[in-house]
Every structure is written in structure tokens, then in C-alpha cells.
Amino acid sequence: MTTTTTPAATTPTPAASASCDGSVTPKDQNALVVVLSVNDVYDMYPDQQGRGGMAEFATLLERERAKIPAHAKLLVTLNGDFLSGSQVAERHKGAHMIELLNHLGIEYVVLGNHEFDFGDVVLRERMAESRSKWFGSNVIETATGKLFPGVIDTEIVELTDGLKLGVFGVCTQETPNLSYPGDNIVFDDVFATSKRCVRELQDQGADFIIALTHLSIAQDKLLARKVPGIDVMLGGHDHEPFTLYEGKTLVHKSGQNAFWLARMEFHLSKSGLQPERPLAITPQWTMIANQNIPPQASTQEIVAKYMKALADAEDEADAKRVLATLALPLSTKTSQLRAGECNMGNLAADAIRSELSADFSLINGGFIRGDKEYEARTAITMGTLNHEMPFPRPGVLIRIKIKHFREAILQHFSKYPQLSGSYPHISGLRVTIDRRANPSEPTITEMVDESGAPLDMEAEVNIATTLFIAGGGDGCTAWKQGEIIHTGERIAVIVSEFLLKKRLVAYPEREGRITILE
């Protein structure tokens, strides 16, 4: 275990004063903690609405830092998922973000599932290049049974007037199903780990405890209920912003791609006359929109350097090659792809089914990353697809029985209605899912082909999907009942071949491929 101690921002004031009669009056203890927080940062440039961008975020961060009172303790945190998930990340294996974090002075980070996308060896290299403090109290190296090298277990931060802040962090246990940590890493139970960390921090005198978490909002809320000693959770993993109380624990997430910077202040006070009374915590917070913010020049230089290297490595003519034109708007919005039917999901599923000559196909919503809305008459280029589907995973053809395919679809659907990258987009069939009797255990009441004919559960079929999914990714282990019989090009290339044949693409918002009864 690694525990560190950070000194207070200012020298603590005396804890007592003398009264007129010579007696000593215990002094109240007061401190101010300010947190600037962000999570799940994949893209370096602003989106179509001018939201996000790392150089723009740098300007915002600089502005907010300048407002911090001298007596306050400032924590700047990035709550997981920043090394992967974009074209430039695939090219540089996350090195671009390490340089940016060092430049911006991001002090605290927690491991997210995407930090393991390039394997543990590359992660070790990135951590060695970083000046941030990396948390992941439940990330264990199997060979030694100890924390993953370079990870901090807990930290005590000295505040003014002798008060102490405790910090720890945990990463989702689902990481082996979502990424590629390898066999040398295990992810311990987040609840047991958090209880241990809170206990150890309290034993070291922590008055106020912050957990950096990379968990789903449902897990964050459950953690707050199971481990009441956590005062604040700064989270990630979900791509939508949340601020809520679960019991006495404040839970916050800042969305994705630095669309917002959270500024949170915690005024801490402990009575000198009544030391048995619990610490008084007065919070206030705001979400500061990073939209149409001017870029900071020095950060823009770093961004431009990596983007130029990416452009130099690409075939510029190929990236600009028009594949097809949209006759109708097309959405790659995360909020749609991870919660319901979306026309980009349908397009991608149709493409891999057609190009791999499959009976049916399925692609998970988390594979499509752009989070954009494309208007009708937009020209879709190879560069568009590379941006939308940056993971270099190939499409595969898997031979599997319909009954196992049916089981896999239910597994993909298991986190609904939460936003989840596992949400399935299908081609060649229609499915009705019934959640009315038991929402936590939905059933498939109808599974028919495009003609409306019921599917034979014992029949073997060829299904197109991604190599990640075929291997049981996203926790959808039913796929392992099948056999991969063909491995094709990476998904973006397969979709490009489909679009070239179409030239004009018209996908309505929804086609009713999956019907959900609730």
C-alpha cells in the first residue's frame, strides 16, 4: 500500500487562545477545499457546437485557478478514461494526454477502464511519464498481490487549522470486460476496498474524505450507501453530468470531453468548544460550460503537434475521400447509442452484415464514439469514419446457435435503462424485449427475421460483430458459445466499403428493430 501526505496550503493557525481570566478557549478549526474536476476526455478539439477542446479547457482552468483564495487547498482531478478512445490516442498510445496533463498541472487522476486499452506495459510507460498522482486502490498486480506499480492507495492532505483531507480512488471491476488489462491485473471488490481505504484514512485522522471513482452512477450510489464515511465522490465512466446526494454523500460527474469544468467548494468547520460534534461541511458547486472559449496558446501548440503527427501518418487523400452523402440526418450521439435505437448503429450493423455476408449482425453502441449530429447532405468521408470508430478492431464472422445469440442480446441489454456501451444495434432481425414483469430480468418474447418468420433457436447462423464482442466483451459471455470463422478488416474500413456502394444514405431515426415493452 502507498500512502502519501501533502502539507497544508498555509501554516495552521493556533488551536486555542487565552481569555481575560487566563483560561484557554479552544479555537474552532476551519478550512476551505476547492476542487476543479473533469472526467472521460477523449477528443482534443471542440465539437460542432463549440463545446470542449483541451486548449479551450486550459483557458477555463487558468481562469478558475486565479480565483482560488490563498488559504484554500486546491485539488484538480481527472476521474478516469483519458488515454484512449480517439484516433490520436490510437496513434500515440495516450502519450498526447500525458503531455497535456503535465502541462495543465492536473494533480490527481484515477484509473478508468480505457487506461488499459493498450495493455499494462504501455500504461506503465504512460504513468512513468506523468507528474500526476494516480489512484486505483483496487487495481492489483497478480504476480505480487500488491497495488499496480505507480498507483497511490490513499493520501492524507494537511489543511489549515490541523484539519485533514483523505483521498482514495477505485476503478470499475468490469474493466476486464471493457478493455485489455491482461492476466497480470485483477480488480478487487470496490466496496470492500473502499471500506478499507475509508477506515485507514480515518485512522490517520482524516476529517473529510473524497473518493475518485470510475464507476457507473448506479455503482456510485450503491457505494455511497454501503460506505457512509465517504463525503464526496468525484466520478467518471458515465458520459452525462450528474450532481446528487445519496444519503450524506455528494456524488458528482462532469460529463465528457471537458464540455464542463466542475468547481466545487467545501467549507469545513469543527467546533473547538464542542469537539465531539461532527465536522460541519458547507458545500457549493457550479458547472462551468466550456463552450466557445478562446484556446490557450501554449496548450494549442501541444494539441496541434499531435494532430499534425496524426495527419502526417494518414493518407490525406484517403481521409478526404467522399464515401457517401446523407439524404437524412445521422446521429452518433452517445446518449442515443447507449440507450436505444440509433440510425448510426443501424447503419454500422447493416454494413458489417452486408460486407461480411452474414445472416445477422450486432454492434455495440460504445464502439461509435463521435457524439455528433450530421445534417442531411453531409458528405461522409473516410476521415469521418476514422473519427467515429477509432478503435482498430476488426469485424468478425461468428458461427453460433440462435439460442446463444438470444442470450447474448439479453446480456447486451442487461444495464438498460442506464446508458451503456453494451447496448445492441442489430441487423437482419427484429426483437421484442419485455421488462414489464421484472425489469431486472427482461425476456425476449419475439425474435423474427426481416420477413417476420420466427427464428429456430437450435439453428446455427453466421453473425457479424466486432472481435471485442465475439470474445465476450462488455460482459456478454454468451458469444463464447460460438466460433469465429472469419476475421475481416477493421470496422471503419468495412463500413466504408458499404457506403461506397450506397453513395446516398437515408436512415430514419428509428426503424423498430428492437421493441422494448415497459
For the cut 70, the answer to whether the pLDDT of residue 2 exceeds it is: no
Say if 11 falls within a structural domain.
no
Say if 500 falls within a structural domain.
yes
Q: What number is the average pLDDT over the span 111-131? A: 96
Same domain, 318 and 276: no
* For the chain, percent of residues with pLDDT exceeding 90: 83
Query: What pLDDT is recorded for position 15?
Result: 47
Query: What pLDDT is recorded for position 12?
Result: 47
Question: pLDDT higher for 48 or 169?
Answer: 169
Range of the domain at 464: 314-517
Q: What is the mean pLDDT of the chain?
A: 92
Q: Is 273 helix (H, G, I), strand (E, B) or coil?
A: coil
3-state helix, strand, coil in the chain (%, to 5): 30, 30, 35
pLDDT in tens, 413-453: 988 998 899 999 999 999 999 999 998 899 999 999 999 99
Q: Cα separations (Å) of 425 from 39, 236, 351, 465, 502?
A: 26, 24, 12, 10, 20
Residue labelled with grid coordinates 428492437: 514
Question: pLDDT higher for 15 or 295?
Answer: 295
Say if 9 falls within a structural domain.
no
Same domain, 270 and 130: yes
End-to-end CA separation in angstroms for the chain: 47
* CATH number of the domain encompassing residue 180: 3.60.21.10
**Helical packing angle, 297-313 and 95-104, nearest 10°:** 170
Same domain, 75 and 223: yes
pLDDT in tens, 352-408: 999 999 999 999 999 999 999 999 999 999 999 999 999 888 999 999 999 999 999
Between strands 504-505 and 322-326, the pairing is: parallel
For the cut 60, the answer to whether the pLDDT of residue 13 exceeds it is: no
Same domain, 252 and 393: no
Domain total for the chain?
A: 2
pLDDT in tens, 139-181: 999 999 999 999 999 999 999 999 999 999 999 999 999 999 9
**Which amino acid makes up residue 373?**
E
Same domain, 226 and 354: no
Question: Could you tell me how far CA 188 lies from the centroid of its own chain?
Answer: 19
Residue labelled with grid coordinates 492524507: 156
Q: Which of 272, 299, 326 is the last residue of a domain?
A: 299
Q: Is 34 helix (H, G, I), strand (E, B) or coil?
A: strand
Separation between Cα atoms, residue 377 and residue 372, nearest integer Å: 15
Residue labelled with grid coordinates 442489430: 426
Say if 14 falls within a structural domain.
no
- DSSP letters spanning 444-473: EEEEEETTSPBPPTT-EEEEEEEHHHHTTG
Say if 93 falls within a structural domain.
yes
Say if 100 falls within a structural domain.
yes
Q: Which of 273, 299, 325 is the last residue of a domain?
A: 299
Same domain, 257 and 198: yes
Question: pLDDT higher for 252 or 14?
Answer: 252
Same domain, 481 and 391: yes
* CATH number of the domain encompassing residue 475: 3.90.780.10
Note whether 494 and 355 are within 8 A (CB): yes
Q: Which of 241, 266, 299 is the last residue of a domain?
A: 299
Cell numbers that stand for 158 in this block: 494537511
Same domain, 288 and 324: no
For the cut 80, the answer to whether the pLDDT of residue 16 exceeds it is: no
Q: What number is the average pLDDT over the span 32-53? A: 94
Same domain, 244 and 140: yes
For the cut 80, the answer to whether the pLDDT of residue 517 exceeds it is: yes
Q: What number is the average pLDDT over the span 68-84? A: 96
**Would you place residue 318 in the very low, low, confident or very high pLDDT band (cuts 50, 70, 90)?**
confident
Say how many C-beta atoms besides its own lie within 10 A of residue 428's C-beta: 19
Same domain, 244 and 384: no
Q: Is 476 helix (H, G, I), strand (E, B) or coil?
A: coil
pLDDT in tens, 241-294: 999 999 999 999 999 999 999 999 999 998 877 777 788 999 999 999 999 999
Global pTM reads 0.83
Say if 165 falls within a structural domain.
yes
Q: Cα separations (Å) of 495 from 133, 182, 353, 369, 426?
A: 40, 29, 10, 15, 15
Same domain, 403 and 289: no
Same domain, 339 and 372: yes
Please give the radius of gyration of the chain, using alpha carbons only, rounded to the nearest integer: 25
Say if 8 falls within a structural domain.
no
Please report the sign of the dihedral spanned by the C-alpha atoms of residue 99, residue 46, residue 56, residue 212. Answer: negative
Q: Cα separations (Å) of 216 from 59, 171, 252?
A: 29, 10, 12
**Would you place residue 329 in the very low, low, confident or very high pLDDT band (cuts 50, 70, 90)?**
very high
For the cut 90, the answer to whether the pLDDT of residue 93 exceeds it is: yes
